Amino acid sequence: MNESAYVNEVRGLSAADALPEERAAFIRKTYIHLVGAILLFGGFVTGIFYTGNAIPLTQTMLGTQFSWLIVLGIFMGVSWLANSWGRSQTSPYMQYMGLILIALAYSIVFVPLLAVAAYYTADGPQLIGKAAVTTGGLFAGLSAVVFLTRKDFSFLGPILAIGGFVALGFIASAILFGFTLGNVFAFAMVAFAGGSILYETSNMLHHYRTNQHVAASMGLFASVALLFWYILSIFMSRD
């Protein structure tokens, strides 16, 4: 590490305050780790399907009215733990453990949706591929907005926090009372995920320190995963 980069990390300077080459290196590392998290996610999902565990796992996770609610509760707890590890200031090992854990958690919670898409819809694999390409395109476009405007979207934080609690309330109510949320909710969640991508990308540029590339990549990964979930859900409803 060069001297100026060391000073930035010790003083806690954000990437926005770092030298251009250090900021560019931080952004590059963040996106490399984002790609790594996506590849881990894909590898875990492939392993689950390849070993024939997708359907049994789906049946277990959706077995009773409250099973999915329990799964989501565990998922939220694991995600919190993974993010706390990813933000570790003392141990790069813990940061990478957090990245692996969050990729594993998302791969498991995605299994029911992907199993239904793959086995119970026409052209399932193609449908998943179309959703992935659409997600990538939207992510690239929203990221470009932040990079081109250099706008700080941190004001979205409270809005996303309130929206997240409202969304969780609707999801919990749908599970408890057995009603379907429908495409209106799915489109609203696509907009929510888009706002989250703007927020996380802006945080990467303006608020993360140059040694927090793992934490930054985890925030982006969660936003991309959420976007993919609801885009795939919309595609499945129209299949």
Count up the domains in the chain and report the number. 1
> Does residue 11 lie in a domain region?
no
**Which of 117, 112, 114, 88 has the alpha carbon at shortest distance from 101?**
88
Q: For residue range 31-70, what is the model confidence (pLDDT) as tens digits?
A: 999 999 999 999 999 999 999 889 999 988 887 778 888 8
Give the per-residue pLDDT at 193. Answer: 94
pTM: 0.89
Residue holding tokens 């309330």?
A: 169
> Does residue 118 lie in a domain region?
yes
> Does residue 13 lie in a domain region?
no
Domain limits for position 41: 20-238
> Does residue 57 lie in a domain region?
yes
Q: For residue range 98-132, what is the model confidence (pLDDT) as tens digits?
A: 999 999 999 999 999 999 988 888 777 889 999 99
Show the DSSP H helices in 87-212 as ranges: 92-120, 124-149, 156-177, 182-206
> Does residue 45 lie in a domain region?
yes
> Does residue 10 lie in a domain region?
no
> Does residue 4 lie in a domain region?
no
Q: What are phi and psi of 14, to 5 degrees?
A: -75, 165
> Does residue 151 lie in a domain region?
yes
